[in-house]
Amino acid sequence: MALALNGGQINAAAGSNQALRETLQAIANEFQSQYAQTGSGPIQKVDATPAKNLGPPGQCALSVTGANGTFTVNITLPQQASGSAKPANPTSAPIYQEVSSSPVSNFTTGLVVYPITVASSMSFDNPGATLFWRLRSTYDQRTYTSYTYQQGGAVAAGLDTSAAHNPNLLLNQSNFARIDSIGAGATATIRIYGSGGVGTSWTSILGENSKVIPAGTLLNVTYGSTVYVAWDGSRYQMKSDLTQTFADTWLPVGSTSVISNGAGLVLPLITPVSTSGHIIGYDITNGGNDITGTLSFAIVDTGGGTGATVGPATISAGVLTALGAGNPGASYSGATTVTASGGISGGVAGGGGPTGNNNGRLYTTS
Amino acid sequence: MSYQLHQQYLDLASGFHVIELRDERGHKHLLQIAVGHDACPACGAVHPKTNLGELDPTAAIVTHNEALNTSQQNMLEYAKKHGLVVK
């Protein structure tokens, strides 16, 4: 029975059933009302499968080249070919092309079939890949030509070259990071922060884009060398050599000399406490600053006293906070002096640079 | 609004105890304690750190959280005083 929603169809279907006839007619009327309101009508059946053509098109030619990490595919249609034996496409009908590639010549592994298209040129990004290519063509997406293979074997896409980029693109970068080191007792602290001061984030600039990187504090860093700091995307990396910060995806931040704080090493001043020619203790009149190594003490007496030694020295945050008594010695009757030496912080005083130092940038910015 | 410990881990490759502090807005501050070896920049000779027993990461976290939160509180009071929108 043909499908149609009209009076004849309804009468044929309902027969003598009056109730069914009225129901079907009501449905038909409802549809007509909807069509009138929306300006539409019954949807016509559409065949999803294109009509089958009589045969495949003439053979198309394939040319694939690779450069700058991209494969460029060019297809020559039959009507574009030359010579007396050129294949025919007299009506210039659209020809669908199916391009595929594989890392092996027999296309048994790693096969990639690209979306079918009527375009005759296309490009695929695949840096570093070397692939074999083939093509087959069809009018109706059902009947294909035999495969045409890229002549000369596999094609290499190559890698990006500077020719593929705007001039100086990769160098148009800088950052607004500050990096400095401060003494923290026996070790140093490296601080990375922004123009807002210690603890504030900083901005990395790449071309016309920028992104914000969190501030960082690196503790327990050994004195005595210049370090280079990079941001690896989630944490800071600290290296002793600049080139070690050039890993792909790392962002060089800057460098700093990890030495003493701004005031540098200051040796403590000690006054001995004597009684009856014996040294029984030591007063610390100045605890010094930035002491990072072992201190030595020389006790000299103008009255001929000898034998006195110091006890344990307590150093906290680079400052001598206590000096115990050792052997009291004897005959300390003159002017007695205690002179400290050593305690070297391992660097040059003040060499850490001023707070807010910005060494290590590609370009100096404010 | 205050900074708190968000995560911490040991990164063996870089030799850092990585401590990430975050506030409610997602602002981050990284506290990294060097616990790996020191290498001579000239010859590359490795000298393991010998002071790991003296380190106190918990105290460092507390100290830095306090400093960051004090700074942030000061900024918020400034913003409030001048009627600024906080972003």
Give the closest of A199, A240, A241 to B29, CB-based. A199
Average pLDDT of A200-214? Answer: 85
The string of DSSP codes covering A260-272 is --TT--B--EEEE
Work out the number of other CB atoms within 10 angstroms of the CB of residue B11.
16
Q: Is residue A327 less than 8 Å (CB to CB) from chain B?
A: no
Average pLDDT of A13-33? Answer: 86
Contacts of A154 (CB under 8 A, 6+ apart): A103, A105, A130, A131, A132
Separation in Å, CA A103 to CA A67, A93, A108, A155, A175: 17, 33, 9, 10, 42
Residue B47 has pLDDT above 80, yes or no: no
Query: Which pLDDT band, with edges at 50, 70 and 90, does A180 fall under?
Result: confident
Question: What's chain B's length in residues?
Answer: 87
Average pLDDT of A305-314? Answer: 90
CB-defined contacts A:B, below 8 A: 62
Distance CA B61, CA B66 (A): 8
Amino acid, res. A17: N
In A, which residues are within 8 Å of B11 by CB distance?
Answer: 235
Map tokens 């990096």 to a residue: A179
Residue B13: helix, strand or coil by DSSP? coil
Q: Is residue B39 less than 8 Å (CB to CB) from chain A?
A: yes
| Most B-contacting residue of A211, A220, A259 (CB-CB within 10 A), to test interface | A220
Residue B33 has pLDDT above 90, yes or no: yes
What separation, in Å, do the N-terminal and C-terminal C-alpha atoms of chain B show? 13
Give the closest of B32, B38, B64 to A218, CB-based. B32
Query: Which pLDDT band, with edges at 50, 70 and 90, does B41 fall under?
Result: low
Give the closest of B41, B64, B71 to A240, CB-based. B41
How much is the mean pLDDT over chain A? Answer: 80
Distance CA A296, CA A320 (A): 12
Surface of A (165-194) touching B: CB under 8 A? 186-187
Give the closest of A186, A214, A225 to B28, CB-based. A214
H/E stretch holding B78 reads: helix B57-82
Residue A60 corresponds to which tokens in the numbers above? 């198309």
Question: CA-nearest residue of chain A to B39?
Answer: A240
Map tokens 């600039």 to a residue: A205
- For A8, counting Cβ atoms within 10 Å of its Cβ (0-12 exposed, 13-18 middle, 19+ buried), the class is exposed
Q: Does the beta-carbon distance from B14 to A215 stay under 8 Å? A: no
Q: What is the pLDDT of residues A214-242, one digit of tens each?
A: 999 999 887 766 788 899 888 999 887 88
Alpha helices by DSSP H, listed for chain A, are 7-14, 18-38
Q: Is residue B19 less than 8 Å (CB to CB) from chain A?
A: no
Separation in Å, CA A81 to CA A92, A206, A358, B43: 12, 48, 64, 67
Residue A167 has pLDDT above 50, yes or no: yes
Q: What is the pLDDT of residues A91-106, one digit of tens each?
A: 777 889 999 999 999 9
Q: What is the pLDDT of residues B52-87, one digit of tens each?
A: 898 999 999 999 999 989 988 998 999 999 999 988
Supply the pTM of this predicted model.
0.49
pLDDT at A73: 95
Q: Does the beta-carbon distance from B27 to A217 stay under 8 Å? A: no
Question: CA-nearest residue of chain A to B44?
Answer: A240
Map tokens 């040796």 to a residue: A267
* Nearest Cα residue to A260 out of A206, A182, A196, A316: A182
Surface of A (77-96) touching B: CB under 8 A? none
Residue A357 corresponds to which tokens in the numbers above? 């130092």
Q: Does the beta-carbon distance from B27 to A214 stay under 8 Å? A: yes
Who wins on pLDDT, A180 or A1?
A180
Question: CA-nearest residue of chain A to B66?
Answer: A199
Q: Which of A105-119, A150-164, A229-243 has the highest mean pLDDT?
A: A105-119
In A, which residues are within 8 Å of B33 by CB distance?
Answer: 218-220
By the 8 A CB rule, do A163 and A68 touch?
yes
Who wins on pLDDT, A36 or A309?
A309
By the 8 A CB rule, do B48 and B66 touch?
no
Residue A39 has pLDDT above 90, yes or no: no
Q: Is residue A238 less than 8 Å (CB to CB) from chain B?
A: yes
Who wins on pLDDT, A284 or A83?
A284
